[in-house]
Amino acid sequence: MSRSEELFARARRWIPGGVNSPVRAFRAVGGTPPFVARGEGARLFDVDGRSYIDYVGSYGPLILGHAHPRVVEAVCQAARLGATFGAPTEGEVALARVLVEAVPSLEEVRLVSSGTEATMSAIRLSRAATGRSGVVKFRGGYHGHVDALLVESGSGASTLGVPSSPGVPAAVVEQTHLLPYNDLAAAQALFDRSGAEIACVIVEPVAGNMGVVPPEPGFLEGLRRLTREHGAVLIFDEVITGFRVAYGGAQARLGVTPDLTCLGKVIGGGMPIGAYGGLRELMEQVAPAGPVYQAGTLAGNPVAVAAGLRTLEILREEDPYPALEEVSARLADGLAEAARDAGICVQVQRVGSLLGLFFTEAPVRDAAGVAAADGAAFRRFFHAMLDAGVYLAPSPWEAWFVSTAHRAAEIDATVEAARRAFRIAAERA
């Protein structure tokens, strides 16, 4: 028995499913998840002494790779001064300023402790501001485990085939309208029918929880126009894309500005954090400036803020985005060529350092396209890559995350491993 197997057996005695977030249990691919001992740059090391090139990056935060020395330094410095105070600190002001200056839609921003809290709060604020209750989301969009948004989410929820979770009251979900991603005509029809009831549209401007699905030209622009015409709030969930696809997020890269933006992951540099912000007239309705209640014991936590500030400082100073683009393109091209050589049909979809790989013949534009891809081929590919020392997310619904620590050497080793893994994937089970 490996040490990971031993730990996983013990974990299942005391933790539901042995994990603290469902995707980590490997249910979609089978087998035992390696228990991680440490990370360094682009690499993970497990408790059995194996090392992996990591494309999970903790599902998005680690744009600088694991244990970046300057981020570690910031965390240690902050922790020595006290982990939490329940009182305002200078770091929060600095982080708010960096976020407002970087992200086009932000005039004011509130820090919370997770992406889930950010989307939950943005929805509450939208409902309060409009006096309406309808929420529009897209199939395959994941916005955390907020009751109203836990309907046909991508990511863990889709992997487990739980379209909506038990425990979510029907009355809550009745207010949630589901639309196919990239289908502006469906959004137009919904607004024509029920525009006066819709408080907000929440959308990942680049979908990153159903692999990677870019918005088609005109889709986000159309949502911007529709929400404006009908007095609804447009929320971009940039928890993955913020400071990932560009310094100012997808809205900076794509040139469409929402009313509210949700952030998380990269802005905490690997520590727990989230944020939501936007137009001043909306944000001034949040307590204590206004009546919309939202609070958090650890909100604006000094250690998380220090890790986030240092991460964003490095991103601003070093501007690694062109290099990330180049190294990610090398990976995408290498994977496509390796699949072609193995005689297997795949789609490699990429926006910046976010990459999706689908075992299917047509480009994927929505959740139906992801569902139609070959799950068995993915499972064979996944395990062949893991055996070769490449750690991918254990689900075709998750993105690959490239970091600044991934250099040509790691990319080329990954593509080399993929040559064999694609041949294995191509074999009949």
Ligand X SMILES: *Cc1c(COP(=O)(O)O)cnc(C)c1O
Q: What tokens does 29 get?
A: 């691919």
Closest of 219, 214, 210 to residue 373, by C-alpha: 210
What is the distance between the alpha carbons of residues 156 and 326, in angstroms, rounded to a whole number? 29
Q: How many Cα atoms within 13 Å fall on the side-chain side of residue 55? A: 29
How far apart are CB 262 and ligand X at their closest, in Å? 6
Q: Is 214 in the site for ligand X (CB under 6 A)?
A: no
Taking CB under 6 A as the binding criterion, the range among 27-35, 70-78, 112-120, 362-370 that sits at the site for ligand X is 112-120
Nearer to ligand X, 238 or 374 (CB): 238
Which residues are designated catalytic? 142, 237, 265
Separation between Cα atoms, residue 282 and residue 280, nearest integer Å: 5
Nearer to ligand X, 140 or 222 (CB): 140
Paired tokens of 122: 């943005």
Of 91 and 115, nearer to ligand X (C-beta) is: 115
Tell me how far, at minimum, the Cβ of 110 lies from ligand X, in Å. 15
Residue 159 found at the interface with ligand X (CB under 6 A): no
Terminal-residue alpha carbon distance, the chain: 26
Show Cβ contacts of residue 55 under 8 Å, excluding neighbours closer than 6 positions.
355, 390, 391, 392, 393, 400, 401, 402, 414
SS3 content of the chain, % helix, strand, coil (to 5): 45, 15, 40
Number of residues that bind ligand X (CB under 6 A): 15
Q: Which of 264, 356, 394, 396 binds ligand X (CB under 6 A)?
A: 264
Q: Which of 114, 227, 353, 395 binds ligand X (CB under 6 A)?
A: 114
Residue 119 interacts with ligand X (CB under 6 A): yes or no: yes
* C-alpha torsion angle, residues 33, 38, 43, 44 (rounded to 10): -10
Nearer to ligand X, 165 or 188 (CB): 165
Q: Which of 144, 269, 302, 396 binds ligand X (CB under 6 A)?
A: 144
* CA separation for the pair 150, 157 (Å, rounded): 8
- Site track for ligand X across 372-411, x = CB under 6 A: ----------------------------------------
Site for ligand X in 216-245 (CB under 6 A): 237, 239-240
In the complex, what is the shortest distance from the CB of residue 315 to ligand X, in angstroms, rounded to a whole number? 18
Interface with ligand X, residue 268, by CB under 6 A: no
The reply on whether position 142 binds ligand X by CB under 6 A is: yes
Longest Cα–Cα distance in the chain: 61
Name the residue number minimizing CB distance to ligand X: 115
Closest CB to ligand X among residues 264, 270 = 264
164 beta partners: 151
Q: How far is the CB of 131 from ligand X (least distance, A)?
A: 25
The angle at the Cα of 326, spanning 324 to 330, to the nearest 5 degrees, equals 115
The residue ranges that bind ligand X (CB under 6 A) are 114-116, 119, 142-144, 204, 208-209, 237, 239-240, 264, 274
